[in-house]
Structure formats: structure tokens, C-alpha cells
Amino acid sequence: MGWFLFSVGLVSLCSMVCTVSGIGANWGTQCSHPLPPDSVVKLLKDNGFRRVKLFDADYDALRALGKSGIEVMVGIPNDMLPSMASSVKAAEKWVAKNVSTHITTNYVNIRFVAVGNQHFLETYNVSLLKTTFLALQNVQIALIKAGLSGTVMVTVPLNDDMYESSTGLPSGGDFRADIRDQMLAIVKFLIYNNGVIAVNINPFISLYTDPNFPIEFVFFDKKATPINDSGKTYYNMFDANYDTLVWALDRNGFGNLPITVGEIGWPTGGDQNANIEYAKRFNQGFLTHILGGNGTPMRPGMIDAYLYSLIDEDAKSIDPGSFERHWGIFNCDGSAKYQLNVNFVDRKRCVTKPSTKLDDQQAAPSVGYDCGLADGTSHG
């Protein structure tokens, strides 16, 4: 495996009417003194996030998201997968309580159900290998029976160690040998049911576990020595990692499966490399890279991703390290750790503010670039 594979207030500076496209945030709830859910939803909205990923179906969090317009991915914890795998009724009960009710009664915009999280980590000793696919099938059946399969999609968030490269380059990508059969069954099912695959990519872990890891390659400012893979050039670990999954899918005949980045971010404490300077540099670089709409060498275009994470979780387990409690852009009390300049562009709307001077030499190219990402639709 190549070494590149493993492992605040957000201020919009737009000169246009701008909203989020492609970027969401993970909302974890393992805080000793959690913010009221309504405050977290306000934090999301005030800072431009229009998508959120929950690790479980927390009732108060979902209720607070009602009528917010925020698109929600709601998760089923791993410890519930065995019951879901063994019983369609259990899946139906969960969907009725945690999806149908919130959509119809609380008007929550639930678009995804995440069946478990990082199931195939080697540290789990393959304990979830036999339950994940069965649980995925039963949850999909439950969504169909509830009449929601046309609007709510299933996904399986997995860690980036589900794939590997035989050459150390993206083009050598394939699914890990010990889980290959399970992965092929999952991706085939997702394609058939219009689902997506979610991958968690955290370059910080590579730096944490390997002191010789080339640090510049985790960032996005092209200071690292680039890697050439059959004519495709890689300047950062994210693109190389993501494209290794693209190659794994292509190699097995599933190149059309949509990919969502379920987790990506940088902690601010608990390790010498977990600091505000690096966190801001990484997250800002990633946002700029993704929102530019260029994608990766193998998959040009917009990439959907969820920053990990919105808020610190001071009650989270510190295995494998204390940095696990410091991934947030915001502290537990909702105060900002650092600023991110986020140029969120709504691909359906491109309307200049009245104050924008289109004859300004700097404004005109900016408007032209941003409007090039939109579809030109006019909204009154």
C-alpha cells in the first residue's frame, strides 16, 4: 500500500448570493455538557452548512432539524446491526420511528440512512462482516415498505482501509482481499438501489501513525512533491486516496456508483500535529479544493463531503488517542476555534448583489468564475 493512502465562525466572502453545495458537517453528541439541539442547528445554518450527518437517530437533534431545510443523513449504530440483519420487522420498526415519523410529523429533510459506520476496520476483527449486508438489505426493504425509497437513500460509511493498492498508486486500487466478496455484494446492492458509498478519509491519522509520513502531502497547497500515475498527477493525499477507491470500483465494474466523503477533517489537540494552525490549513485547503468543482484526476466535478466535525466531543473515547475529542471546528460551548473562509456556491442560483461593481477589474473575473459553476437559472 502506498504511504499516501492511510492512515470559528465560517465567513462567506462571496460577492454574490451564495449557499452551500456539496459540503456538510458531522454532528456528534458525545459532550459532557452538550449544546441545546436548537443552538446546534442555528450554528449549522448561520455558518452555511445545508447538510448534516448524525451518527444515530437522536430524537431531539432530529426534532430541532425539522423545517430547517438542512439535508440529513441519519445513522444506525453498529450495535444495532445484528438485530437489523436478523429481522426485517426490526428494520421496519426503526425506519417507522426514526425516519417516517420525523419526515411526516417534524418535517425533517432526511435524505440518507447510514447503515452502521466503519464496519470493516481490521481492529473490529471482522465481527460485522456477516451482519452489514443483511442489515443493509433489510433497511432498504423497510424504506420501500414505508414508501420512502424514492426520496431516502441507503449508504454504508466505511473507512478508507476497505481498499488498498497493489502498486502504491491509485491505479492499483482494489478492495481489501479479506472483505472483497462482501464489498462487491454491497456496492452491487447500492448501485441497484440508487444508493451511495461513503468513505471516511482522515490524512491526520497517517501522520499520527507514521512519523516519516511526508507532511506536505496531506495539505492542499501543492508544496509536496507530486506523484505521477500514468499521466495523472497527484498533489495531495486526498485526491490519491479518493481515486484509489474510484479505481477499485472501476476495476470491479461499478464505476458509476456515487461516492460521498463521510468524514474528513483535522483535530486541534491531543497530538503535536493536532493544532489550530494545521487544522485551519487543512480544512480551508480542503474546502477550497472541493468547492472549486474540479474533483479529482479520476472523477472531475463536484464532490460531496461532510467535515469531521462540527463540535468537539469531550466525552468521546480517547482510543486511539486523546485527539479524538478535538476534531470540532467549534468548541463544546459553540465558540469558534478559528475562521474558515468558505465560498459556498449554489449551482442553481447566480445573482449578484446590488452593491457588486461589475466593472471592477477584480469583481468581473470572480463573478464569471462563480457563475460558471452555476446553471444560470434565474430566481426572483
Catalytic center residues: 263
CA triple 37-343-56, angle to 5 deg: 30
Report the run of H or E that residue 247 belongs to, with start and end: helix 237-251
Cβ-in-10-Å burial (0-12, 13-18, 19+) of 375 comes to exposed
Cell of 133: 449486508
Peptide bond into 157 cis (omega under 30): no
Report the run of H or E that residue 27 belongs to, with start and end: strand 23-27
Grid cell 425539522 is found at: 66
Q: What's the longest Cα–Cα distance across the chain?
A: 65
Q: Is the dihedral of CA 250, 256, 257, 260 positive or negative?
A: positive
232-234 vs 227-229, strand pairing mode? antiparallel
Residue 287, CA distances (Å) to 120, 281, 305 in order: 28, 10, 9
Grid cell 460485522 is found at: 128
What three-state secondary structure class fits 255?
coil
- For 274-373, where are the alpha helices, taking DSSP H only? 276-291, 363-373
195 closest CA partner among 161, 162, 156: 156
Cell of 200: 471516511
